[in-house]
Every structure is written in structure tokens, then in C-alpha cells.
Amino acid sequence: MSDQYEYLPHRLLHRRVRDIASGVEGELMAVVNENVASAGMERWVELAYIRAASGREFTTSVTNVEPAC
């Protein structure tokens, strides 16, 4: 089995962004290609980790990330 995750470069890394799915804004902390396998089947997804104003980080699909105005 391969690694559980891999960090990816992103043009908005460490900038203020908005999650279009929830409307929440924060700083893009990391983009990770993560294996969310279950029952032995590999499934890789690109997740964006965003730190909101509260200090808590949440994940969303990297396709949901846009620059905050």
C-alpha cells in the first residue's frame, strides 16, 4: 500500500480563501492528496485544509477553494 497522504503545491497556499461550499473564509494551510481508503480499496482525493478565524481547521475539496475578496 502506498503513502496515506502527499502534500501538494497550490497558488493560494497561506493566503486568505473562501470555501464556496460553506461560505467560510480562512487561511489555506495545506493541500493534500489523501488516501481515504475503506475496505482495502484505494481512493485518493485532493483536500484543502483551511484555518478559520476561530483557529479550527476544516477540510474541503480543493475545487471548492477560491480567493477571498
Question: What was the pLDDT predicted at 1?
Answer: 45
* Torsion angles phi and psi, residue 62, rounded to 5: -60, -25
- pTM, rounded to two decimals: 0.86
Task: Let me know how many helices (H) and strands (E) the chain has, helices first.
Answer: 0, 6
CA distances from 24 to 60, 62, 63 (A): 11, 14, 15
Question: What was the pLDDT predicted at 69?
Answer: 84
Is 90 exceeded by the pLDDT of residue 61? Answer: yes
Is 80 exceeded by the pLDDT of residue 2? Answer: no
Span 16-53, pLDDT tens digits: 999 999 999 999 999 999 988 888 788 899 999 999 99
Question: What was the pLDDT predicted at 39?
Answer: 83
